């Protein structure tokens, strides 16, 4: 038989050794002291650590302080032995080690012969007496047994204290659906087997392995030590399963069918508009297998070389149910608005027809708000003839669309114990996911797109014991996320074919149409076709050194990150119909009727463009875990992080530096600069931020020295990376590509004739059509190219942008209550600064209609600059939370084995804004400091498992039938999410608006109704909203909204005709709350032993929202107070969904 030879360590270190990533670790730490019966330390005692599953062994001796440390221990179960001449051997059996755990295992040796042994059974520590970090772990039974909708392991994070869900869909809220201790969802670092698992652009997890391949994961909530960084919103550290000395694995199939499901609430809520139960047919199937690498007569991997492989496939056809929207009734689609308002004529449409007789020469019909069908705009007619506009008899539609989601996921892992001093592992992941999305960018049916996502991940780890007190961990990680839209599910006519006189960069379909009052958007997704690729490489090295009572750790990392893409973003144009004139509408006040008149108030068009964002990330840290006393540990550390400014290798970036003339493009307006211009960043779009030092401090105290009580606390500074999303959005905008933002006014509406706005938007606005895009040349005249005024169709980044940072602190008490139960109570707080928000860089000077950039001395073009949103480091947020939990580890009793976690979070998070591309006031950056959109005041979750005691209660019954039954529940309840409203005022570059700054999206309505009176949305109520009777499922009465008449003025506030003084309304951001959410998921499982108990057959029946309780969802993002659906709930979380599964475990 061939002996396994050690892999050359220098070769592996050459691949994996270096000095952005956190100080990665997919392991735990075991430390302790060895004393005699009198309490005196024993120097030189031998400590042996043996893996129960893998048979691998490590040895170390205690130092001059009687202390030993195993700084890198793979998760699993271990046997420990302490030996010293003249003393009996002490053993601990089945000691569990978790990812990221800091275990303290002390030994007290009795005088006697070393051949004698004193053994105790190991137990999972209930109390952490070493680390100050607030964290929680999910492992074993919860991952394998709890009901997981979609088999998404990371959703189990929501069973832990301090973790709250996010339902936000507004731009910039990229993330995996939860907030950790008040952090933004895209400020979480995901780690997989020691490697960073975050995308470059949005910081979402690149791969998310299925639960059968996951061993466990730990959530670092607050005050993590200096070896961790990259993000200031928490760490999720996932470890996959490994092979062992025994061949083990699983085979499974999970089946869903609509026969097991309930119907969506809104599919059956409106009389006369019943929709059948949505289709949901899903098969999730696959298996895992792992063991020692064994090739007869060639290789025997027992105790040394192990492999593991997992595959999961998914085939899903379903019906997606979108939130309710307003639509045309069949009679309105022909121009008949005679029953549109309180059963009578729409007064706005009637008045418009009487003043514009071209659209209805018959005055009697005009007074009834009936448009002459022959006078409907020709382009609108063409769109209607193409059946692109949905209708409903009630004017309210619950859109249903066919969806498809197929997946193939592969994971492989190899672990090699090279010798007693070196350990190597490699993890490889590959996922493929084609999708049919019925609602990719709009809210109406008929515009489905095809897309595909491919994810790749590789992690290599080498752990080397250099001396008994010195250990090195080297990591290399590579990852790639390649996604894109590949086409349309059905071919629709192009914009020119419908009569639009535009010349797109890429002609792919009809324009997008937005009806602001109805909440209806029709059209294909903004980026079809599109390609997108994130690629990252991380090198990390950590050195652990045990010296006396100090456990020192040093490390650093280097990363190369890239994001490259191509986007055909709204190349066919977007038409907006805002409705009322105070919202920017230019016709009848009805967004639906204005479509038939051919009177949009805005038209935008964007290019087919390429984007690229590259950068490097560097980190270094040092920390000392100091055992000040046997029952008191002090952790001190400092971390440094530097991210080079991300840049486009093609130089397609720009920024505003007031008063500076570009040398690269000398005809650019004064103040518009480009990378490597004099006084401009080079390369990139913002200057480097090199002062990101992050000190950390923590303590852990065991006051009674029994390991059953701990008091822990700490303080630290935590920095966040700047995602590439902003650079990605800037690429593909003026001046490197063409784009247009056109605003139309009532003066452009003919008094007695047809409108040409839809047919010829550029000609109607009197501007140059900049399409198709042309390469930018140094002698380009920006004005003649149609690029001025500059700002509305550009994405600006502050050249002085800085990394966000957070001050975090905590005080935590843990107490073991006995019988495997522990209580934890933690006060967690944080204060975040320099968060990225969006602000108008060129807002109106207060009380005027003048913008400051247009006052630059020497500006070549008059009024060269309009409004421009700039990403700046101006946001702040604060979090305070009481995080409590009661946990019981798996244990038996007369009533059967059980485990559970009861987690309660009482918290508050306040912020200026919540995400990239969300705006703050240019006049006062803290104007809208209020509850964050993801502020959840209270959340209670119970999760666990119970082996039903049928067999023990009926001892003489049939064992095979009675044994193996278990229940696994997850019950959650929480307060509702905040809801925000604005006044629905369309932006006009020449109008200051009520706030005076020219940012009407910041203006809220006035509220005259006192405190919010919550209504039960299950019932149907009727209220008068904006002068129109609306019937629906209201969660509050919106009739108390007031929009002052001055909001429609074009004059600056404080001047004649304008509002008396600048105002954003009396309604603060996120004042209202949506309905609370309660959900109950339940699994019933029957285990049957097979083949002499070497295998088990599992039958599972799982039901999500088992009680079919309607969880009404509040609107997300900003809701216009002029919306036809204001105050209404239009969607719910999924109804009851059932699935059945068969699984074989061996």
pLDDT tens digits, 614-660 = 999 999 999 999 999 999 999 999 999 999 999 999 989 999 999 99
Q: What is the pLDDT of residue 410?
A: 98
pLDDT band with cut points at 50, 70 and 90 for residue 477 = very high
pLDDT band for 724, please (50, 70, 90 cuts).
confident
> How buried is 745 (Cβ within 10 angstroms: 0-12 exposed, 13-18 middle, 19+ buried)?
middle
Per-residue pLDDT, 383: 95
- Number of other CB atoms surrounding residue 691 within 10 Å: 9
Identify the band that residue 381 occupies on the pLDDT scale cut at 50, 70 and 90: very high
Q: What is the pLDDT of residue 957?
A: 85
Q: How many Å apart are CA 712 and CA 130, to the nearest integer? A: 9
- Mean pLDDT across the stretch 732-741? 89
pLDDT at 15: 33
Over 70: is that where the pLDDT of 13 sits? no
Percentage of residues of the chain with pLDDT beyond 70? 96
| Domain of residue 344, residue span | 325-397+572-605+739-772
**Separation between Cα atoms, residue 62 and residue 42, nearest integer Å:** 7
pLDDT at 62 over 50: yes
Q: Three-state SS for 459?
A: strand
Domain-located, residue 593: yes
Beta bridge mates, 80: 49, 92
- pLDDT at 123 (0 to 100): 63
pLDDT at 496 over 50: yes
Predicted pLDDT of residue 47: 94
pLDDT at 562 over 60: yes
Task: Output the CA angle 169-171-175, nearest 5 degrees.
Answer: 65
| Predicted local confidence at residue 111, as pLDDT | 85
Averaged pLDDT, 343-366? 94
Q: Give domain status of residue 279, yes or no.
A: no
Cβ pair 226, 398 in contact under 8 A: no
According to DSSP, the residues that pair with 614 across neighbouring strands are 562, 647
> Do the bridges between strand 28-36 and strand 102-104 make them parallel or antiparallel, or are there none, so unpaired?
parallel
* Confidence (pLDDT) at 527: 78
Would you say residue 171 has pLDDT above 50?
no
Distance CA 540, CA 559 (A): 9
**Dist. CA 885–CA 10, nearest whole Å:** 46
* 171 found inside a domain: no
3 pLDDT band (50/70/90 cuts)?
Answer: very low
Mean pLDDT of 803-816: 96
Cα 938 to Cα 905: distance, rounded to the nearest angstrom: 6
Q: Is residue 590 part of a domain?
A: yes
174 pLDDT above the threshold of 50? no
**Residue 704 has which token pair?**
């009674």
Task: Say what the pLDDT of residue 935 is.
Answer: 95
Contact between 554 and 621 (Cβ < 8 Å): yes
pLDDT average, residue stretch 9-29 = 46
7 to each of 14, 74, 300, 1026, how far by Cα in Å? 12, 20, 16, 75
Please report the pLDDT score of residue 117 as a whole number.
62
In a domain, 749, yes or no: yes
Q: What Cα–Cα distance (Å) separates residue 559 from each residue in 16, 20, 187, 427, 719?
A: 12, 5, 18, 19, 16
CA distance 556 to 551: 17
Q: How far apart are CA 672 and CA 647, in angstroms?
A: 17
Where do we find the tokens 């004059």? 1051
Q: Give CA angle at 437 (433, 442), nearest 5°.
A: 145
Q: Is the confidence at residue 166, as pLDDT, over 90?
A: no
| Residue 224 falls inside a structural domain | no
Name residue 119's beta-bridge partners: 91
317 touches 404 (CB < 8 A):
yes
Could you tell me the pTM of the whole model?
Answer: 0.90
Say whether pLDDT at 169 is over 50: no
DSSP run (H or E) holding 960: helix 959-962
**DSSP β-ladder status, 325-326 and 305-321:** unpaired
Q: Is residue 502 part of a domain?
A: no
| CA atoms of 625 and 623, how far apart (whole Å) | 7
Total count of domains within the chain: 1
* pLDDT for 185: 87
Task: Please give the mean pLDDT across all residues of the chain.
Answer: 90
pLDDT digits (tens, 9 = 90+) for 517-529: 998 999 887 778 8
Given a cut of 60, is residue 49 above it in pLDDT? yes
Inside any domain, residue 762: yes
Angle at 321 between CA 316 and CA 323, to 5 degrees: 150
């Amino acid at each position: 038989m061939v002996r396994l030879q050690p892999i050359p360590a220098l070769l592996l270190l050459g691949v994996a050794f270096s000095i952005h990533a956190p100080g990665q670790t997919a392991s735990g730490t075991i430390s302790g002291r060895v004393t005699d019966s009198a309490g005196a330390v024993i120097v030189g005692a031998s400590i042996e650590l043996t893996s129960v599953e893998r048979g691998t062994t490590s040895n170390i001796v205690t130092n001059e302080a009687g202390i030993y440390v195993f700084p890198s221990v793979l998760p699993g179960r271990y046997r420990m032995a302490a030996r010293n001449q003249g003393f009996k051997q002490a053993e601990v059996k089945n000691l569990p080690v978790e990812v990221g755990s800091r275990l303290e295992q002390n030994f007290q040796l009795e005088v006697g012969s070393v051949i004698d042994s004193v053994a105790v059974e190991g137990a999972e520590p209930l109390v952490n007496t070493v680390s100050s970090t607030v964290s929680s772990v999910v492992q074993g039974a919860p991952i394998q047994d709890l009901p997981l909708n979609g088999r998404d392991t990371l959703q189990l994070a929501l069973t832990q204290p301090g973790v709250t869900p996010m339902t936000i869909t507004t731009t910039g809220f990229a993330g995996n659906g939860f907030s950790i201790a008040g952090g933004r969802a895209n400020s979480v670092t995901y780690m997989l087997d020691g490697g960073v698992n975050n995308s470059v652009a949005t910081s979402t997890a690149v791969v998310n392995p299925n639960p059968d391949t996951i061993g466990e994961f730990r959530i670092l909530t607050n005050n993590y030590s200096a070896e961790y960084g990259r993000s200031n919103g928490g760490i999720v550290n996932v470890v996959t399963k490994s092979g062992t000395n025994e061949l083990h694995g699983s085979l499974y199939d999970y089946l869903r069918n609509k026969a097991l499901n309930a119907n969506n609430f809104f599919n059956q809520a409106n009389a006369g508009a019943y929709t059948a139960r949505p289709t949901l047919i899903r098969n999730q199937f696959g298996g895992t297998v792992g063991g020692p690498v064994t090739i007869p007569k060639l290789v025997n991997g027992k105790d040394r070389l192990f492999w593991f492989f997992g595959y999961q496939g998914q085939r899903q056809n379903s019906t997606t149910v979108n939130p309710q929207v307003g639509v045309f009734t069949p009679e309105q689609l022909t121009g008949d608005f005679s029953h549109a308002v309180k059963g009578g004529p729409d007064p706005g449409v009637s008045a418009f027809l009487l003043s514009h007789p071209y659209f209805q020469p018959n005055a009697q019909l005009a007074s009834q708000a009936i448009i002459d069908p022959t006078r409907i705009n020709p382009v609108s007619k063409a769109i209607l003839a193409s059946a692109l506009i949905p209708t409903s008899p009630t004017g309210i539609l619950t859109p249903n669309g066919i969806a498809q989601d197929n997946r193939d996921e592969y994971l492989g892992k190899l672990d090699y114990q090279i010798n007693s001093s070196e350990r190597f592992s490699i993890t490889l992941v590959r996922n493929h996911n084609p999708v049919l999305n019925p609602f990719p960018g709009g809210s109406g049916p008929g515009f489905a797109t095809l897309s595909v996502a491919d994810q790749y991940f590789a992690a290599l780890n080498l752990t080397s014991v250099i001396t008994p007190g010195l250990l090195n961990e080297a990591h290399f990680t590579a990852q790639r996320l390649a996604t894109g839209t590949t086409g349309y599910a059905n071919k629709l006519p192009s914009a020119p074919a419908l009569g639009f006189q535009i010349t797109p960069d890429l002609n792919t379909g009809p324009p997008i149409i937005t009806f602001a009052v109805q909440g209806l958007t029709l059209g294909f997704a903004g980026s079809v076709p599109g390609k997108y690729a994130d690629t990252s490489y991380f090198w990390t090295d950590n050195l652990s050194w045990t010296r006396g009572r100090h456990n020192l750790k040093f490390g650093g990392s280097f990363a190369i990150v890239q994001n490259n893409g191509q986007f055909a973003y709204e190349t066919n144009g977007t038409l907006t119909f805002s409705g009322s004139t105070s919202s920017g509408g230019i016709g009848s006040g009805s967004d639906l009727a204005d479509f038939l008149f051919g009177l949009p108030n805005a038209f935008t068009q964007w290019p087919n463009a390429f984007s690229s964002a590259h950068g490097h990330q560097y980190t270094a840290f040092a920390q000392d875990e100091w055992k000040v006393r046997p029952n008191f540990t002090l952790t001190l550390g400092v971390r440094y992080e530097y991210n080079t400014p991300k840049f486009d290798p093609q130089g397609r970036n720009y920024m505003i530096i007031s008063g500076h003339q570009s040398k690269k493009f000398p005809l650019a307006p004064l103040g518009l600069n480009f990378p490597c211009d004099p006084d401009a960043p080079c390369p990139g779009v913002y200057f480097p931020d090199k002062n990101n030092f992050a000190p950390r401090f923590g303590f852990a105290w065991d006051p009674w020295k029994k390991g059953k009580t701990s008091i822990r606390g700490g303080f630290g500074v935590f920095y966040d990376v700047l995602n590439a999303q902003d650079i990605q959005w800037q690429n593909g905008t003026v001046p490197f590509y063409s784009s247009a933002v056109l605003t139309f006014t009532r003066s452009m509406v003919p008094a007695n004739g047809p409108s040409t706005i839809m047919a010829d938007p550029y000609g109607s606005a009197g501007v140059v059509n900049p399409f198709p895009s042309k390469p930018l040349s140094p002698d380009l005249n920006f004005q003649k190219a149609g690029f001025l005024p500059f700002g509305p169709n550009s994405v600006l980044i502050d050249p002085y942008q800085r990394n966000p940072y957070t001050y975090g602190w905590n005080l935590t008490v843990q107490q073991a209550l006995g019988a495997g139960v522990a209580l934890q109570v933690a006060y967690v707080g944080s204060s975040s600064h320099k968060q990225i928000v969006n602000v108008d860089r060129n807002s109106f000077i207060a009380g005027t209609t003048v913008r400051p950039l247009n006052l630059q001395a020497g500006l070549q073009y008059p009024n060269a600059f309009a409004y421009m949103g700039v990403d700046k480091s101006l946001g702040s947020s604060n979090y305070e939370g009481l995080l409590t939990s009661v946990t019981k580890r798996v244990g038996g009793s007369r009533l059967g084995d059980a485990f559970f976690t009861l987690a309660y979070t009482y918290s508050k998070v306040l912020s200026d804004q919540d995400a990239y591309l969300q705006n703050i006031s240019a006049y006062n950056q803290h104007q809208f400091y209020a509850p964050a959109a993801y502020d959840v005041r209270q959340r209670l979750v119970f999760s666990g498992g119970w082996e039903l005691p049928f067999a023990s209660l009926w001892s003489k019954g049939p064992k095979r039938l009675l044994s193996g039954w278990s229940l696994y529940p997850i019950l959650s309840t929480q307060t509702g999410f905040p809801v925000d409203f604005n006044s629905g005022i369309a932006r006009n570059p020449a109008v200051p608006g009520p706030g005076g700054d020219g940012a009407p999206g910041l203006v809220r309505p006035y509220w005259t109704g006192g405190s919010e009176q919550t209504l039960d949305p299950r019932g149907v109520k009727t209220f008068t909203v904006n002068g129109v009777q609306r019937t629906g499922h209201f969660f509050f009465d919106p009739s108390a909204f007031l929009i002052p008449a001055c909001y429609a003025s074009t004059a600056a506030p404080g001047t004649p005709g304008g509002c008396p003084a600048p105002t954003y309304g009396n309604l603060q951001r996120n004042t209202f709350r949506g309905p609370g959410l309660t959900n109950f998921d339940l699994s019933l499982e029957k285990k049957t032993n097979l083949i002499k108990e070497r295998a088990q057959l599992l039958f599972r029946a799982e039901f999500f929202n088992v009680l079919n309780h309607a969880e009404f969802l509040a609107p997300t993002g900003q809701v216009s107070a002029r919306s036809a659906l204001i105050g209404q709930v239009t969607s719910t979380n999924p109804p009851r969904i059932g699935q059945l599964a068969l699984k074989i475990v061996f």
